[in-house]
Structure 1
């Protein structure tokens, strides 16, 4: 499961880089708001891109618990496992 999470974290970093139009280095511990400087609108744009990449829908109410890139990767992997 660790490899899957690493791949998801890397994809989140790539997607954030595209959306934010700058290179974004992420780790599972990266705080999305504080470390990446992502506001709520940018986060929604990143999430919409990730939904397309992973072909899934991320419920907005589940995003309330997401603080780090690792949290987001875990949520995506959980949703993918259920699909």
Structure 2
């Protein structure tokens, strides 16, 4: 299994408690549109991801991340 797939799987597991609508996750799933998250949910989720991977996602990075795939790529870069 690739590192990227492992990151995707961990991110998906982190999304699960916040996925109230039971949306099937894909690289193109959007946080605001598909999952319908508000800003508080985003902040809670980002904190969970940061704790899981021991990284810091800046506010500027958060503003640019709209999809699950973009988040997986960002986590991969921050872990490198």
TM range (shorter): 0.7 to 0.9
Structure 1 stretches of at least 4 aligned residues deviating more than 6 Å after TM superposition: none
Deviations 1:32-81 (A, max 9, x none): 11111212211111110011110111111111111100011111110101
Deviations 1:4-37 (A, max 9, x none): 222212212211112x274553111111111112
The structure, 1 or 2, with the larger RCO (C-alpha pairs under 8 Å, 6+ apart) is 2
Aligned partner of 1:48 in structure 2 is 47
TM-score, normalization by structure 2: 0.84
Query: Relative to structure 1, is the Cα distance of residues 80 and 33 closer, same or farther in structure 2, using a 3 angstrom cutoff?
Result: same
Q: What 5-or-longer segments of structure 1 have no aligned partner?
A: none
TM-score, normalization by structure 1: 0.82
Q: What 5-or-longer segments of structure 2 have no aligned partner?
A: none
Counterpart mapping for 1:5-24 below 5 A: 5-18=4-17, 20=18, 22=20, 23-24=22-23
- Give the number of equivalent residue pairs: 79
